[in-house]
Amino acid sequence: ERIFERLGFKTIKTEDGWSVQAPSHRVDIGGEEDLLDEIARHYGFDKFPATLPAWSGYGSALPFETEERLLRNRLASAGYSEIVTMAFSDDASERKFRPDVEPIKLMNPMVENESILRTSLVPSTLRTIEWNLNHGIRDLQFYELGKVYRNGAENRLLILAATGALRTKSVHEPERDFNFYDLKGGVEDILQTFDVSLPADRENLPAYYHPGRAARFGEVAVFGELHPESAEMFKLRQRIYIAELNVETIFRTETRHSVEPIPRFPSIRRDLSLLLDKDTRYEDVHAAVTSAGIPDLIQIRPIDRMESGPFPESKYSLAISLIYQSNERTLTDEEVDQFDRQILGLLEQRLGAQLRK
């Protein structure tokens, strides 16, 4: 009460405390907190005991924060540098790369070429590549973890981009350019890191990818060489490789495999050398073998390819490795022979494949 009186405040004692009226010139007094602050300043802050407030809770990571940290470490170790670009873009670029999405327009854009929220990470990444190439930096590996805005929702995506030399010339080794298989290996490494396994195919690829140099892993990832017409939009004169990944889908636990115990029983490997038509792709072979539905077939892998040899010119030779293993018992040679016959029958029926003698 004495403090308030000295400050020119009017005080009235009430049943549950005090009613205080501030002078008209004290416009900074707006509530109970301001009155307590006045008391503390005049009483002396140094007279209050320095005790920390009690806290019964604990900190926690944001959604997918741990996964993103792991992903960034993997990409950095693979030679990629992170970029952070603006979430604004121009209408023409967005419609080129996502014509199926109506972009969200800004009510008061600062400049005309940043008038909408981006629907794809590709245009901003290509602009970054364009800037670097114009400044004489030819060898690039970028990635960005960023949001896109589609149909009123935010989606977090990852884009990889690379161009130029993967390995520059030195006294120890020649120069080698970044290629499609380097990009594919990087995408597979990301999927493997988060235990996501999907078959590759070349169906329903976006038009801005080169039709013969692109592929996808389901709805999780699409990757390949940028189409020359799309590269020309940004005046890019060298091959550009990009990959787009839906990291939210990758991070979700339901897309991952469960942990399995170490196998107790030995595996059996069989190699098959096949004669196939020139236009038969390995993915067709893989699909045919998988369709046999053999639960004990745990791995299919190509190990050799011959374009010419003691066989017709319209054919090529492909050797594949098949590994069989049961979690319940040791497989016999007779059982594996039956599996091989079943697979060969499917390959012959679907692809006209022949077992090379």
Q: What is the pLDDT of residue 258?
A: 64
Q: Pick from 83, 79, 269: which is nearest to 183 by CA?
A: 79
CATH number of 268-355: 3.30.70.380
Q: How far apart are CA 68 and CA 194, in angstroms?
A: 11
Q: What is the pLDDT of residue 254?
A: 57
Average of pLDDT values for 178-202?
A: 91
Show Cβ contacts of residue 32 under 8 Å, excluding neighbours closer than 6 positions. Answer: none
CATH architecture of 2-47: 2-Layer Sandwich (3.30)
Instruction: List, in sequence order, every residue forming a beta bridge with 167; answer none if it has no partner.
Output: 176
Enclosing H/E stretch for 333:
helix 333-351
- Counting beta carbons within 10 angstroms of the beta carbon of residue 135, is it exposed (0 to 12), middle (13 to 18) or buried (19 or more)? exposed
CATH number of 65-255: 3.30.930.10
pLDDT: which is higher, 192 or 152: 192
Q: Is the dihedral of CA 138, 144, 150, 152 positive or negative?
A: negative
Q: What is the pLDDT of residue 257?
A: 60
Average of pLDDT values for 87-113?
A: 87
Q: Quickly tell me which residue has 């490795």 as its tokens.
A: 321
Q: What own/partner pairs with CB < 8 Å and gap ≥ 24 does 65-72 have? A: 67/194, 67/247, 67/251, 68/145, 68/247, 70/193, 71/145, 71/158, 71/190, 71/193, 71/247, 72/145
Q: What is the pLDDT of residue 203?
A: 86
Domains 2-47 and 65-255 equal at CATH topology level: no
pLDDT: which is higher, 24 or 266: 266
* Number of Cβ within a 10 Å radius of residue 289: 20
pLDDT at 242 over 80: yes
Q: What is the pLDDT of residue 23?
A: 86
pLDDT at 137 over 70: yes
Average of pLDDT values for 280-294?
A: 92
CB-based contact 137:130 (threshold 8 Å): no
Give the pLDDT band (50/70/90) at residue 305.
very high
CB-based contact 110:86 (threshold 8 Å): no
Q: Pick from 101, 118, 100: which is nearest to 109 by CA?
A: 118
pLDDT, mean over the chain: 90
Average of pLDDT values for 119-139?
A: 95
Sheet containing strand 354-355, strands side by side: 297-306, 315-324, 268-277, 354-355
- The distance from CA 213 to its chain's CA centroid, rounded to whole angstroms, is 20
Q: What is the pLDDT of residue 348?
A: 94
Per residue in 60-85, pLDDT (tens digit) is 777 788 899 999 999 999 999 999 99
The residue ranges of every structural domain in the chain are 2-47, 65-255, 268-355
Average of pLDDT values for 160-182?
A: 92
pLDDT: which is higher, 308 or 143: 143
Enclosing H/E stretch for 322:
strand 315-324
Instruction: List, in sequence order, every residue forming a beta bridge with 160; answer none if it has no partner.
Output: 143, 243
Q: How far apart are CA 139 and CA 343, in angstroms?
A: 45
